[in-house]
């Protein structure tokens, strides 16, 4: 019986195996930490091995020695930049693809606030896929749809985590001239199950249905250190770092196990370009740092360099070197919290409201330890 992974760390949940299986023998099953993992139905599987061929964890990447270019970037149109998580490079790329009558794939909320990749077709729909969602997105059916679009000779922009982009590349098997893959600098993805519980928790607390959650809201002009959400038509906001879910994420308690051993935490990628936040902009180029976000852009391929030429008029930008951009997630994966195991142990057995309370206890214990060590 074929097995797609032996340890949880060996599956990043990209969903490429699910899409490639012509026998529909794979389905995603949610584990007790709230992450999706593929499961093979032995009665349907014909042991063809295609699922292993597309797996970005098993397959060595096609990263090659290339002349990469590094840029700091801000969309010139202020409302474009303010509505994005960092400098607005993604929406500028998306607009380029729309001008070619192409389609764009990014992560959006569905009507139940689950995060899913979806296809969008024009500027009006773009808002849904803008902005960072700190939740692992579902890629179900996306590789298949992208392949169909490419076979119709359409332009396609895909933006997602590096492992999703690599799963897509392996799925497609051959390069397509009209496909642009933009992957993210990636801290790691939190559990969709825990996110779902948090949404329910906030809905219960405020009495209504959640319709939006902005992890990096810039309306306070604080470079996205505020998060804001809407429940029952009313908006609530607060510091990103005081929000319980975001704290669990940033303290590394709820990341997918594969993220702690990720091989994509480097500048070497197989995508066309990489986008992220330009960490340290205040040191590299203080004169342009207005606190409203600057994207880091790394161009890997000739195709990306061509597109760069076509969009650079819409951007304020400067070129820099690799050493200027090397933030932690470009030199190694995020370490797991020492108390992740204890936390997840609680999560498996306790009601979510109690898990939140226990997390506060763990967090204050950590703060106390830090004080004692000082």
Ligand X SMILES: Cc1cc2nc3c(=O)[nH]c(=O)nc-3n(C[C@H](O)[C@H](O)[C@H](O)COP(=O)(O)OP(=O)(O)OC[C@H]3O[C@@H](n4cnc5c(N)ncnc54)[C@H](O)[C@@H]3O)c2cc1C
By CB under 6 A, name the binding residues for ligand SF4: 2, 4-5, 11-17, 20-21, 23, 25-26, 38, 40, 45-51, 54-57, 161-163, 167, 186, 188-189, 256, 258-259, 262, 264
- Separation of alpha carbons 107 and 192, rounded Å: 13
Q: Which does 137 bind (CB under 5 to 8 A by kind): ligand SF4, ligand X, none?
A: ligand X
Site string for ligand X, 284-323 (x = CB under 6 A): -----------xx---------------------------
CB of 250 to ligand SF4, least distance (A): 14
The encoded tokens of residue 73 equal 């970037």
**What one-character DSSP code corresponds to residue 102?**
-
Among 74, 138, 161, 271, binds ligand X (CB under 6 A): 161
Phi, psi of 189 (to 5 degrees): -110, 135
Residue 138 interacts with ligand X (CB under 6 A)? no
The entry of ligand SF4, ligand X, none near residue 177 (CB within 5 to 8 angstroms by kind) is none
The item of ligand SF4, ligand X, none sharing an interface with residue 277, based on CB under 5 to 8 Å by kind, is ligand X
Binding range to ligand X, per CB under 6 A, among 28-36, 56-64, 134-142, 312-320 = 134-142
Cβ neighbours of 188 (radius 10 Å): 23
Q: Residue 115 interacts with ligand X (CB under 6 A)?
A: yes
Q: Between 25 and 325, whose beta carbon lies closer to ligand SF4?
A: 25
**Using rule CB under 6 A, residue 129 touches ligand X:** yes
Burial class (CB in 10 A: 0-12, 13-18, 19+), 247: middle
* Contact status: 133 vs ligand X (CB under 6 A): yes
Q: Is position 214 an interface residue for ligand X (rule: CB under 6 A)?
A: no
- Residue 257 Cβ, how far from ligand X at the closest point, in Å? 15
Question: Judged by CB under 6 A, which of 35, 134, 317, 359 binds ligand X?
Answer: 134
Tell which residue, 66, 14, 7, 39, has the closest CA to residue 302.
66
Cα–Cα distance for residue pair 311/44, rounded to 1 Å: 47
Query: Residue 85 binds which entry of ligand SF4, ligand X, none, with Cβ cut-offs from 5 to 8 Å by kind?
Result: ligand X
Residues 260-289 that bind ligand X (CB under 6 A): 275-277, 279
C-alpha 265/C-alpha 277 separation (Å) is: 14
Q: Which two tokens stand for residue 266?
A: 């480097």
By C-beta, is 129 or 254 nearer to ligand X?
A: 129
The site partner of 40 among ligand X, ligand SF4, none (C-beta below 5 to 8 Å per kind) is ligand SF4
Q: Measured in Å, how far apart are the chain's first and last C-alpha atoms? A: 54
Which stretches does DSSP call E strand in 110-178? 115-120, 156-160
Rounded distance, CA 206 to CA 227, Å? 16
Kind and range of the H or E run holding 213: strand 210-217
Please, which residues bridge with residue 297 across strands?
A: 71, 275
Q: Which tokens go with 361?
A: 């206890």
Q: Using CA atoms of 277, 214, 32, 335 in order, give the dihedral in degrees to the nearest 10.
A: 20
Given ligand SF4, ligand X, none, residue 55, with its beta carbon under 5 to 8 Å by kind, binds ligand SF4
DSSP state of 261: G
- Per CB under 6 A, residues contacting ligand X are 84-91, 106-107, 115, 129-135, 137, 159-161, 184-187, 189, 275-277, 279, 295-296, 327, 329
């Amino acid at each position: 019986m074929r097995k797609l992974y032996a340890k949880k760390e060996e599956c990043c949940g990209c969903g490429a195996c699910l899409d490639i299986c012509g026998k529909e023998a794979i389905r995603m099953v949610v584990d007790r930490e709230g992450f999706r993992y593929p499961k093979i139905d032995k009665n349907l599987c014909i042991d063809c091995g295609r699922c292993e061929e597309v797996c970005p964890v098993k397959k060595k990447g096609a990263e090659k020695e290339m002349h990469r270019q590094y840029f700091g970037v801000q969309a010139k149109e202020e409302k474009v930049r303010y509505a994005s998580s960092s400098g607005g490079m993604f929406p500028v790329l998306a607009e380029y693809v729309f001008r070619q009558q192409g389609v764009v794939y990014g992560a959006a909320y569905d009507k139940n606030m689950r995060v899913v990749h979806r296809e969008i077709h024009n500027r009006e729909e773009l808002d849904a896929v803008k902005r960072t969602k700190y939740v692992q997105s579902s890629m179900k059916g996306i590789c298949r749809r992208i392949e169909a679009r490419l076979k119709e000779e359409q332009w396609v922009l895909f933006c997602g985590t590096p492992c999703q982009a690599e799963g897509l590349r392996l799925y497609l098997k051959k390069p397509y001239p009209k496909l642009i893959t933009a992957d993210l600098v990636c801290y790691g993805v939190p559990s969709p199950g825990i996110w779902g519980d948090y949404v329910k928790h906030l809905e219960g607390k405020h009495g209504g249905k959640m319709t939006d959650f902005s992890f990096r809201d810039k309306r306070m002009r604080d470079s996205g250190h505020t998060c804001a959400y809407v429940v029952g038509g009313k908006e609530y906001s607060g510091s990103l770092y005081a929000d319980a879910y975001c704290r669990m994420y940033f303290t590394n308690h709820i990341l997918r196990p594969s993220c702690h051993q990720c091989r994509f935490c480097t500048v070497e990628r197989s995508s066309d370009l990489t986008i992220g936040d330009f960490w340290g902009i205040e040191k590299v180029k203080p004169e342009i740092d207005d606190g409203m976000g600057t994207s880091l852009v790394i161009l890997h391929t000739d195709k990306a360099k061509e597109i760069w030429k076509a969009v650079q008029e819409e951007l304020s930008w400067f070129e820099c070197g690799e050493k200027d951009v090397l933030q932690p997630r470009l030199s190694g994966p995020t370490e797991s919290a020492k108390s992740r195991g204890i936390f997840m142990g609680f999560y498996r057995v306790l009601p979510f409201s109690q898990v939140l309370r226990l997390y506060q206890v763990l967090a204050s214990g950590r703060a106390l330890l830090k004080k004692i060590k000082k």
